Structure 1
Amino acid sequence: MKTGWTPLAIIYAVLSLAGLLGTAVLNVWSVVTARNYVGDLIGSGPAVSSIGVDLLIVAASGCVLIVVESRRVGMKRAWLYIVLSAVTAFAFTFPLFLAMRERHLAAARQHSTPVTD
């Protein structure tokens, strides 16, 4: 019996783990060194602010995609990925959503019965 962990789902899961670990390390570093996280993001110059705006727009677009795509393919509780991104990182939750979507689609393909004449 297949588990739904297709190669694409595994790639997304690995990216999700990299996003979680990479952002967690940097966020903990910010807290430990008592940095003003938002102040550093906004006040460190136009290049950093540009990257921040760029990633914010990508994250907002990804949230829309999560809602629309989860409804399209019939995934439940997809809003949890958006909520979880607020307390972890979108670099973690978006690839995680993609991995779970791929597993959902693989399971649906496995359970579908081919039509024969």
Structure 2
Amino acid sequence: MGPTARQWIYAVIAITGVAVTWYFNLQFIAEHGGLPIDRFIADVYVNAAASSIGNDLLVVVAAFLVWSFAEARRLGMRHWWVYPILTFGIAIAFAMPFFLWMRERRMAALAATA
């Protein structure tokens, strides 16, 4: 059985998540001649609106990592440790839909063997 519509949607969202975050990350890197993490984090708190979004994302990341760990164990998904690395190394906008895509694949595989 091939990919489902939901798998395609998650894949497109994951690719979009990389594109829309790294477009700005690359601009930041070009402006600062590298990726000074302390400056990056300081800029997240440059005003109340940015702070709100930054803290919102921190809560989403925490919830995603707790849930995805439990869900990966429940479904017997291997290599869960990759998702925190993708979350902090690329973006939650990529890691979460990528996890959902892999979860859909795993659930389809389990259904096919049942």
TM-score w.r.t. the length of structure 2 is 0.90
Alignment of 1:43-62 (within 5 A): 44-62=46-64
How do 1:1-117 and structure 2 match up within 5 A?
Answer: 2-3=1-2, 5-34=3-32, 36-42=39-45, 44-112=46-114
Unpaired runs of 5+ in structure 1? 113-117
Q: Secondary structure of the equivalent of 1:33?
A: helix
* Aligned Cα root-mean-square deviation (Å): 1.3
- What are the superposed Cα offsets for residues 32-87 of structure 1, whole Å, 9 maximum, x if unpaired? 11183222111x21111011000110111001111000011110111211112211
Contact 2:86 2:94 in 1 (8 A): no
- Give the letter aligned to residue 88 of structure 2: A
Give 1:115's aligned residue: none
Q: TM-score, normalised to structure 1's length?
A: 0.87
Task: Spell out structure 1 runs of 4+ moving beyond 4 A.
Answer: none
**How much identity, in percent, do the aligned residues show?**
37
AA of the residue aligned to 1:50: S
